[in-house]
Amino acid sequence: MPNGVVFKSGMVAAIAIYGIAWMSDTYFKYAIPEFKAAITDMVQTYPWTFALALFAVSVVINSQAATAVMLLPVGISLGIPAPILVGLMPATYAYFFIPNYPSDIATVNFDVTGTTKIGKYYFNHSFMVPGLIGVVVACLVGVSVAELVIR
């Protein structure tokens, strides 16, 4: 078996992504009715909070497409306007929040300088601040552009 850093990081990434996808698919297959019930009042009062639901689910399942497939029908059924649904799609990118995504693990392994780290407290890692800024700004811009284009 090869001993290179790239091979080892790739194997860790492959195993991690399949395990996480399988676990999250199993969990959400049965949890979506309760999840929908829990967010209904919040989202109907403040439609922008649907971004929090998108983000939370994406943290767990590590898939933008699966998050969208799972939650966009919920958003439509709750009556969230199309420009908001479209504009909030960047909130489906939450891979960075918990540093368990294969690219995060590989990045830490590739960095020979030691500046890319997963922190001591799990939520103080090198990907947190840039990721949160990127998602918030992308959602704000996305909703603004969608409001202009779709309406």
pTM: 0.73
Four-CA torsion 12, 18, 21, 24, nearest 10 degrees: -80
- Nearest to 133, CA basis, from 107, 99, 97: 97
Q: What is the pLDDT along the chain (151 residues), one digit of tens a residue?
A: 567 777 777 777 777 777 766 776 777 777 778 877 888 888 888 888 999 999 988 888 778 888 898 889 889 988 999 999 999 999 999 888 877 777 777 777 777 787 777 776 667 777 788 889 999 999 999 999 999 999 7
Structure tokens at 113: 């300088």
At residue 94, the 3 state secondary structure works out as coil
Q: In this structure, what token pair is assigned to residue 54?
A: 């998108």
